[in-house]
Amino acid sequence: MTGPALLDRRLLVVTGKGGVGKSTVAAALGLLAVRRGKKVLVCELNAHERVAPMLGAPPSGTSIREVLPGLWSVNVTPHEAMREYGLMVLKFRTIYEAVFENRVVRHFLRVVPSLAELVMLGKVLNEVRATEDGRPRWDLVILDAPATGHAVQLLRVPAALLDTVPAGPLRSDAEWMNALLVDPRSTAVSIVTLPEEMPVNEAVDLDRQVRGVLGMPSGALLVNAMPEVRFAREERERLGLLAAAPSPLGPAARAARLQAIRAEQATRYLERARAALDLPAVILPLVATDRWDRAAVERISAALEGGLAAAGV
């Protein structure tokens, strides 16, 4: 990885296949950064909020709210991001309301290609470069990005506009946004996966698009929900023999054998991911819990701390 350490960037994009635990990992990264003395903002995009509730706080909504000391969150929506962008461009609220809140104009804006993605991404990137009293407002902004395909579409918008938009305010915005996204000193994309076939395949394809299509700097591969290897091969064979025994030994042996098979399969997919991706891999444990709360996220955060140090990122 070129550039500063992962949590020393200004913007950390977290993405991957849907259902791999991106929001959990984003929250855990935020907790780790706060423990290192950073002021952190976690951004979700037009989402059913997970970060703040997981950490024991009410949903933040479209306003930036402090979740824990040192950690803030926000849910960036197209309408609110458009409102902020309109006010920034037009300067005066009365003019904004006359133009952007006009029913006909709002209908037109909804059908402009990629405009929703542009203003949401612009809101996040504005927070990255925002200052207060002469210093950055945030030490780190974490973007809990959409799943793979939508994330690539979102992050590609500024570069795509540079190919199509003439000189003017919109092109100027696209220029600084794209420059920030591709700057290895400021930005990194970390991919979350599970040690399973489809998530690993998607992670490999996503890494190719991050490097090739987007030209963005890569961060780390975060392998989530890795089951513990508890049994040697000889022990797994003995479990198979014990599976036919009466209760309670037989059911316990079958459950243990299933866990051993899953761990063996996960190890193979982890090895495949490591072979296919030129990325430092950080292994996060499978946490057995019926409720994702702050205690569960703290366990992932602790694993991240050790894993990032071991991987040199």
Mind giving me the DSSP string for 156-202?
Answer: HHHHHHHTTPPSSHHHHHHHHHHHHHT-TTTEEEEEEE-SSHHHHHH
Whole-number Å distance between alpha carbons of 75 and 64: 8
Q: Phi/psi of residue 65, each to 5°?
A: -130, 145
How many C-beta atoms lie closer than 10 Å to residue 80's C-beta? 18
For residue 49, what is the DSSP state?
-
Total residues belonging to the chain: 313
Is the pTM higher than 0.75? yes
Per-residue pLDDT of 78-126, as tens digits, reads 888 877 766 555 444 453 444 445 554 454 445 445 778 888 999 999 9
pLDDT score of 161 more than 60? yes
Residue found by looking up tokens 């003017």 in the block: 168
Range in 77-81, 183-187, 197-201 with the lowest mean pLDDT:
77-81
* Full set of structural domains in the chain with CATH: 6-227+279-311 (3.40.50.300)
The more confidently predicted of residues 21 and 88 is 21
What is the average pLDDT score of the chain? 90
pLDDT score of 153 more than 60? yes
Pairing label, strands 71-76, 65-68: antiparallel
pLDDT at 102: 53
User: Following CA atoms 111, 114, 118, 124 in sequence, which dihedral angle do they give, to the nearest 10 degrees?
Assistant: 110
Q: What is the DSSP string of 131-145?
A: EETTEES-SEEEEE-
pLDDT score of 209 more than 50? yes
Residue 248 three-state SS: coil
**71: Cα within 13 Å, side-chain hemisphere:** 22
